[in-house]
Amino acid sequence: MLSHPLAPGAELCPLEPWQAEEFAAHVDQVREHLAPWIPWAHTIVDAESARAHLQRYADLQARDEGRLYGIRVDGKLAGGTLFRTFHGQSGVCEVGVWLDRGAVGRGLVTAAVRAMVDWAIDVRGMTRVEWRADPSNTRSVAVAERLGFTFEGVLRQTFPVAGRRLDSGIWSMLADEWHEARAAAQTGR
Ligand SMILES: CC(C)(COP(=O)(O)OP(=O)(O)OC[C@H]1O[C@@H](n2cnc3c(N)ncnc32)[C@H](O)[C@@H]1OP(=O)(O)O)[C@@H](O)C(=O)NCCC(=O)NCCS
């Protein structure tokens, strides 16, 4: 299968409708960990709902409006990343992430998002990559900050998750900033 290496034994891979049964089992495994933050942790409950979710992203990808990837550790699904939105015309996309509790703390998502931002900006010519997270979701916020995203503000109570309404903090990375940061990292400045 096509994949992008993230760390020894860990890779970023396609996640497609034919993998619905495996994805449903993975969601069962991560449900409790994701439940406070991610709506689909409450709605994917079997292979059928898993397939519908994966099919939605396959359809978005076919229209070039979104994408979904899995993160595998030693071959086992351990999380994933997505372009939740992808607007070629405006040059704006939003990245999302999740991990199994057992895969947290190894830099896998930071590495995956770095590769996605490289692709979005270098290959697809995106101008702005967004990161949205409730400001109390400290691990998610830390990923955006570790990658150098800039905090812009908060949309209050905008994101419903299982009967609660989360705030949506917005962080962004602009293409020029990404190029500058990468050049600085390469020259050790
Ligand atoms: C958000 C989430 C994916 C972040 O996971 P994470 O493991 O903290 O993020 P990364 O995979 O980038 O790993 C970073 C951690 O690995 C450590 N690390 C180890 N090697 C590293 C490396 N080479 N590069 C970067 N970080 C590294 C970092 O120090 C950091 O750990 P620390 O915060 O304890 O210091 C995870 O907390 C999660 O799944 N949360 C629930 C779902 C969720 O909230 N999704 C986002 C909704 S907005």
Tell me: the pLDDT tens digits for 108-135?
Answer: 999 999 999 999 999 999 999 999 999 9
Ligand 1 contact, 34 CB (< 6 A)? yes
Residue nearest (by alpha carbon) to ligand 1 atom 13: 107
The pick from 110, 131, 132, 141 for probing ligand 1's pocket by mutation, whose C-beta has the most ligand atoms within 8 angstroms, reads 110
Does the beta carbon of 106 lie inside 6 Å of ligand 1? yes
> Which atom of ligand 1 sits closest to the CA of residue 7?
23
Percent of the chain predicted with pLDDT > 70: 99
Ligand 1 pocket residue status of 73, Cβ below 6 Å: no
- Quick one: average pLDDT of 92-102? 98
Return the pLDDT at 187. 86
Q: What share of residues in the chain are helix, strand, coil (percent, to 5)?
A: 40, 35, 25
Q: Is the CB of 109 under 6 A from ligand 1?
A: yes
CB 143 within 8 A of CB 109: yes
Mean pLDDT of 29-40: 98
Nearest CA to ligand 1 atom 10: 107
Where in the chain does DSSP place strands (E)?
A: 4-7, 10-14, 67-73, 76-87, 92-99, 128-133, 150-161, 164-174
Higher pLDDT, 83 or 2: 83
Q: Residue range 1-17: average pLDDT?
A: 95
- Asked if the model's pLDDT at residue 188 lies above 90, the reply is no
Mean pLDDT of all residues belonging to the chain: 97
Q: What value does the mean pLDDT take over residues 38-66?
A: 98
Cα–Cα distance, 77 to 73 (Å, whole number): 7
Residue range 4-187 in CATH 3.40.630.30: yes
Of 44, 55, 45, 43, residue with least CA distance to 19:
55
Tokens of 140: 């998610």
Mean pLDDT throughout 14-31?
A: 98
Closest CA to 101 of 161, 168, 170, 35: 35
Q: Which pLDDT belongs to residue 21?
A: 98
Q: Average of pLDDT values for 153-175?
A: 97
- Please give the distance, rounded to the nearest whole angstrom, from the Cα atom of residue 166 to the centre of ligand 1: 20
Question: Binning pLDDT at 50, 70 and 90, where does residue 2 land?
Answer: confident
Beta carbon of 7 within 6 Å of any ligand 1 atom: no
When pLDDT is cut at 50, 70 and 90, the band that residue 1 belongs to is low
The finding on whether 104 has its CB within 6 A of some atom of ligand 1 is: yes
Residue 189 has pLDDT above 80, yes or no: no
